[in-house]
Amino acid sequence: VNMKPSWLVIWAVTLVLHSVTAVYNITSQTVTYEESGKNLSDIPSNLFQNITKLSLKNNKITLKDTDKEILRSFINLIELYLNENLITVLYNNSFCNLTKLVILDISNNHINTVHKAAFAGLKQLSVLNLSCNAITQLDSDAFTSLESLMVLNLQHNFLKFFHIKSSFILIKIVLAGNPWTCSCELLDLQLWLNASNVTMENENNTVCTFPNTMEKFSIKMAAIQPADCKTERASLENTVTPAIKLKSSALLRDLTTDNTTGNNGTRAELPLLGKSWIFLAGVLGFVLSTTLLIFTAIKCPTWYRYLISYSHRRLEENDSEMFEQEFSADVSSFPTESGTNDEDPIETLEEIHAFAPEEDGFIEDKYIDSYVTEE
């Protein structure tokens, strides 16, 4: 009974040795090309087009444009090993045309950036290994085009969060060895880990590194309560403008409804209400003040002159006060239309006092001067 495993091991070892020594190994179904540890800086261009397995492990490939061009021609490729190379960025469409690729290993490179459409076209890809790189930011959007993805290895990167944006289905995920920050930002990942059937490999070692209170807790177990996120955001709301308030309350609603709906990994995008609200208010304010100014200029030139000279003297004041003054000056001009010219300066003086009593020092100076000269 003990003999069987040892024979298996010997058979496996000889298999591995064979594939390492032979650069090409052509059987009826597979065409394998293996060139490891040769300091290659380019993907060889003289390979068979029907190649199915390409291993270029431990070279100096950076996956530049010419490399991508060459890769594109291997439309039968099923396995691609580019681990232990010098790739730093995965640009959009790095592997397009490889529609039959099932295994892609780009572990042990120096990848710090993965563009959103980097894996576009890999319809059959089932195993993706991105472990031992330097990825700091990533979300599930980068993988949603991978319809067949089952295993994703993100071990030993620099990820603090991993946002699950749309329905994302996996059989296995490896997340250990990242500096996970167990705050509200990690909540969607935790909800997804809990709700979906994904197996997290090495779960006991996939721990929070921040904050200190949650250090060494598994990211699946760490107590991130949606209620905590609520209070955290509520205290934030007291100090922010209404526009940001709107946005954060939408986020809050998003987070809390996730819990009640039993979350299946989907998340609605935030409404862009905040920005359009500010814009609308700005346009309205501008149009209103301009209209008032023009109206004043047409209807009563004298008051316009007063207003202009008034504005000149008050240059150092801020905009909202200017607006207030314009508005009060305009309102005050309505009753004067029926009145006589002589009464006007006094009446306006009183009106302005009524609207802005805290600024009387300034106003008195100006109007007393003009009143005196008119008399």
Ligand X SMILES: *[C@@H]1O[C@H](CO)[C@@H](O)[C@H](O)[C@H]1NC(C)=O
Which residue ranges make up the site for ligand X (CB under 6 A)?
Answer: 18, 22, 25-27, 31, 37-39, 48, 50, 72-73, 75, 83, 92, 97, 105, 107, 115-117, 127, 129, 131, 151, 153, 174, 190-191, 194, 196-197, 204, 220-221, 223, 259-260, 262, 264, 266
Q: Which is nearer to ligand X, 181 or 370 (CB)?
A: 181
Q: Which is nearer to ligand X, 116 or 245 (CB)?
A: 116
For residue 207, what is the DSSP state? B
Least Cβ distance, residue 36 to ligand X (angstroms): 10
**H/E run at residue 114:** strand 113-114
Nearby residues of 120 by Cβ (< 8 Å), 6 or more positions away: 92, 93, 95, 96, 145
62 within 8 A of 41, measured Cβ to Cβ? yes
Q: Which is nearer to ligand X, 25 or 88 (CB)?
A: 25
Q: Which is nearer to ligand X, 258 or 344 (CB)?
A: 258
**H/E run at residue 172:** strand 172-174
Q: Which is nearer to ligand X, 259 or 302 (CB)?
A: 259
Q: How far is CA 230 from CA 195, 227, 235, 237, 346, in A?
A: 21, 5, 9, 10, 55
Q: Which is nearer to ligand X, 92 or 309 (CB)?
A: 92
- Token pair, residue 274, equals 């905040």
Least Cβ distance, residue 71 to ligand X (angstroms): 9
Least Cβ distance, residue 143 to ligand X (angstroms): 13
Least Cβ distance, residue 318 to ligand X (angstroms): 40
Least Cβ distance, residue 225 to ligand X (angstroms): 7
Nearest by Cα to 346 from 332, 326, 359: 332
How far is CA 136 from its chain centroid?
12
Count, residues in the chain: 375
Long-range CB contacts (within 8 A, 24+) of 39-46: 42/66, 42/67, 42/70, 43/67, 43/70, 43/71, 44/70, 45/70
Least Cβ distance, residue 91 to ligand X (angstroms): 7
Q: Which is nearer to ligand X, 152 or 363 (CB)?
A: 152
Nearest by Cα to 33 from 81, 67, 69: 81
Interatomic CA distance for residues 239 and 122, integer angstroms: 46
Least Cβ distance, residue 233 to ligand X (angstroms): 16
